[in-house]
Structure 1
């Protein structure tokens, strides 16, 4: 055996190490985030109405990392294994063993840290089902990674490829099943887009509602049409529906001197349910007081809920009556 160092094998080893650890961490993050959405803990959650892109940010991040890094790991690992089965130099052999030991060490470290965190949450009142499934995912990851690389350490010149195919097949099945399950919980990209369209519609209606109330406070009458709300001096213009090219419009009707109705057509029912603290999405109850947050109808703020904009799929109307005590007319300027 020659004391030879191959740059190709060195970078293949580095690629295996980085892509595997990244895949394991992103896989566990994806499982944990999806379980948190599937089994929300009501002790740390509020019942919320509305959609926000923030509430699935953890799933999306872990999902995107896993979808990229896991295939990269499989590809790099294949070439790394092929190279390791050939006659290597002494330095390459040392690198191979070090890489395997580092993989086993880092994988074990990740698993131990996750288990410590899980036990901590469990003794604090974590949901039993969620805790058990998380522990199973952690131990299964450790078993697959540990068993395969211990085997590679003991049988570096295996030419059958059977154990590698078995462990690789189990890993692929596990990762693909987890990805499919996370999409089932989060929804497809098409569904996410429709939810964001609906969120935009609610935001537009809230904006219009505020302008109607402001108009009434200034003139003590409701506008006849929405076009009367447009004000070039203040710079406010009517919101444009997200699919106006397809004929979508916002409807407005005056029902009484202080009662009006706003209508829009929604793609899906408004999401509702328990959302844990953190980046959960809500509909703000008083958007007119929240200038600092912009015009988005959803905001990652724990504890808020507003069922007044709850809707089903299709055309939905919202009737509003102005309370003169809550929204008194503005005083007339004295001359």
Structure 2
């Protein structure tokens, strides 16, 4: 039996025998267990006089959930990228720099972005609806570690993108090279990254409230 399993089993039996949490903590500490190990072992059980001890719900991970959350994350990222790319190309057309000409490769990029959005946007919306429905039916899925990790990673990437965009905008302003085209593109980038941040903040916030 692994040490962690031994600790969990001892804690359960001690609580079942009516020992107080202070007594269990003192006994385990004197036996050489670290404070965080003792706290985690006790936190796994509800502080209640009910016997036998009531276990707290624990995050669980399944391959199926990981697949859907990773696909959702990827679909949203791909959609956001091509929304930004398409808007960038539109800005180049509507607010061109002096001497700029719309090239053939730029048309190809716009076609590719449109084709990508036709595929990935419905996919993201379907995945979002499916995941939301699954979570509504089984609220325990909010404790999924993959769901939380991907949410926080997405928020981190969105936040760093917004900060980098702001730095670039200020640099261009200080350099005296801040044009309408650059300002509009910075606005698009901030809006797309901000939308992703707000989306995942809402999802993660609900998960934290349910934890």
Q: CA deviation at 1:116?
A: 4.9
Q: 2:140 matched to 1:84?
A: no
Q: Where do 1:1-335 residues align within 5 Å?
A: 1=57, 4-42=60-98, 45=99, 53-85=104-136, 86-88=138-140, 93-116=144-167, 123=175, 125-128=177-180, 130-156=181-207
Q: Which runs of 5+ in 2 are unaligned?
A: 1-56
Write 1 or 2 for the structure with the bigger share of helix.
Answer: 2
Q: Secondary structure at the match of 1:152?
A: helix
Structure 1 pair 22–118 and aligned structure 2 pair: CA distance change class (3 A) = farther
Structure 1 pair 108–61 and aligned structure 2 pair: CA distance change class (3 A) = farther
Which structure is higher in RCO with an 8 Å CA cutoff and minimum separation 6? 1
Structure 1 pair 75–101 and aligned structure 2 pair: CA distance change class (3 A) = same
Q: Contact 1:23 / 1:65 at 8 angstroms: preserved in 2?
A: yes
Pair member with larger Rg: 1
Q: Secondary structure at the match of 1:88?
A: helix
How many angstroms apart in 2 are the aligned matches of 1:10 and 1:22? Answer: 18
Q: Contact 1:30 / 1:62 at 8 angstroms: preserved in 2?
A: yes
**Given the two structures, how large is their TM-score scaled by the length of structure 1?**
0.39
**Given the two structures, how large is their TM-score scaled by the length of structure 2?**
0.59
**Superposition RMSD in Å:** 3.0
Q: Contact 2:89 / 2:110 at 8 angstroms: preserved in 1?
A: yes
Q: CA deviation at 1:68?
A: 1.6
Q: Contact 1:9 / 1:83 at 8 angstroms: preserved in 2?
A: no
Q: Once the two structures are superposed, what CA deviation does each residue of 1:125-163 show, in whole Å capped at 9, x if it has no partner?
A: 3532x23322222222233222222122222399xxxxx
Structure 1 pair 40–79 and aligned structure 2 pair: CA distance change class (3 A) = same
How many angstroms apart in 2 are the aligned matches of 1:4 and 1:112? Answer: 34
Structure 1 pair 144–54 and aligned structure 2 pair: CA distance change class (3 A) = closer
Q: CA deviation at 1:71?
A: 1.5
Q: Secondary structure at the match of 2:140?
A: coil
Q: Contact 2:61 / 2:145 at 8 angstroms: preserved in 1?
A: no
Q: Once the two structures are superposed, what CA deviation does each residue of 1:170-198 show, in whole Å capped at 9, x if it has no partner?
A: xxxxxxxxxxxxxxxxxxxxxxxxxxxxx
Q: Once the two structures are superposed, what CA deviation does each residue of 1:185-223 show, in whole Å capped at 9, x if it has no partner?
A: xxxxxxxxxxxxxxxxxxxxxxxxxxxxxxxxxxxxxxx
Q: Which runs of 5+ in 1 are unaligned?
A: 159-335
Q: Contact 1:84 / 1:156 at 8 angstroms: preserved in 2?
A: no
Q: Contact 2:162 / 2:194 at 8 angstroms: preserved in 1?
A: no
Residue aligning to 1:186 = none
Structure 1 pair 41–142 and aligned structure 2 pair: CA distance change class (3 A) = same
How many angstroms apart in 2 are the aligned matches of 1:126 and 1:59? Answer: 25
Aligned length: 151
